A and B are shown apart, each in its own frame.
Chain A
């Protein structure tokens, strides 16, 4: 966990803010900027307004200019999707006026809000999860779905699970697996210019900014993975990935938005996935990994843990 605002984030912010923010930013997860409002830091679970920094539209424009390095053409896709991943793997989300053509987003302009999410890497977050996901007798891994509400810490858990399986863990005789990550939104490996910015293990290949359904096929054909890692299942095309994995004998680690096992069954696509019993383990993460519950494919609780602080 970070107790400062990383250099890469300070680099995109106006220079004068550095000194004002540095002493306020213990355990900062997010920086929220909204036109006409003071800057807001999310420190631990609380939101802290910095009254001395009031945001105007030209400041947002300058920050976007700094991120794009005067090269909007190179960030067309990001401006369309509404977020940038900057050096260090930090995520900058955008809101503003959306230009739509033929029911498709062309880009966002006249920015009104930015949300800078500071990339967090919690090594060891998934260590205890291996007791449930790794079958020591058969030396095999179970396909696992990690669920949590937005900002709940599921990607942090997924990243660490991928890292541990990729590097192996001698304590529990976990061998190192060939891991392929399809990082559609650059959140798992937090890649910048194609290079992973966070530790995702020694035997991991990353396909950055690639749609899951395309990337899964590419990785299965090209890299021969033993484990496939994807973030945020939910669309109809995601079912294809699961079928492909099943047919090729690959273990799948994935995440989905849901705040309980019961809620999974209410979402049409995810309901089908759960009913197909592909995932032998479903992990519910609450409050950034502070509470973890593990279910089997039928929704029976197998165990879990609760900690006061994540270390």
Chain B
């Protein structure tokens, strides 16, 4: 009976450690995808600014209706804007609220925070330059994140199993 309980506990420990490491795996797996979606959003911003001269809140509103994971961010920004906040504070608040849900590293977040202070604050020519610079930065981060994904996903998967087993062996 004791042996049976020990086995059950061991399985539970291994499973828990794997699940904990899985959070990191999901983060590294999703980060490149999220960054690509942000690039897509920025492309959307510049298109709507140039071709339909749309206001920032209207662009955000349109993007919040689209069905892709990053739209959660734009939904949050949209609701902040509707509460009367500026775009800058809306994006900052949304990033703060969704930090746990979005697979974004600190570098990615600071890049978006810089964007939030500049977007909408100058003429069209300048806006397009700002968007282009931000897109280039994010594309670079995306490349890095792809490399990290290759290394880290394997590492954390292994760490989950081995870490769990190590704890079990130590406790046995």
Contacts and interface: CB of A to CB of B under 8 A. Distances in A.
A74 B49 contact: yes
B53 interface: yes
A76 B124 contact: yes
Contact of B124 (A68, A69, A70, A73): A73
Contacts of A70: 55-57, 81, 86-88, 119-121
Interface of A: 65, 68-74, 76, 107
A65 to B, nearest CB: 6
Interface of B: 49, 53-57, 81, 86-88, 119-124, 126-127
A105 to B, nearest CB: 13
A65 B119 CA distance: 12
9 contacts: A68-B55, A68-B120, A69-B56, A70-B55, A70-B56, A70-B119, A73-B49, A73-B123, A73-B126
A73 B119 CA distance: 9
Contacts of A65: 86
Nearest to B122: A72
A308 B127 CA distance: 53
A71 to B, nearest CB: 4
A72 B127 CA distance: 9
A76 B49 CA distance: 12
A74 B53 contact: yes
Nearest to A75: B55
A71 B123 contact: no
A69 B81 CA distance: 9
Nearest to B90: A70
Contacts of A73: 49, 120, 122-124, 126-127
Contacts of A76: 123-124
A71 B121 CA distance: 6
A148 to B, nearest CB: 34
Nearest to B57: A69
Contacts of A72: 120-123
Contacts of B54: 74
B129 to A, nearest CB: 11
The 10 closest A-B pairs by CB, nearest first: A70-B87, A70-B120, A71-B55, A73-B124, A71-B56, A73-B127, A71-B120, A69-B55, A70-B56, A76-B123
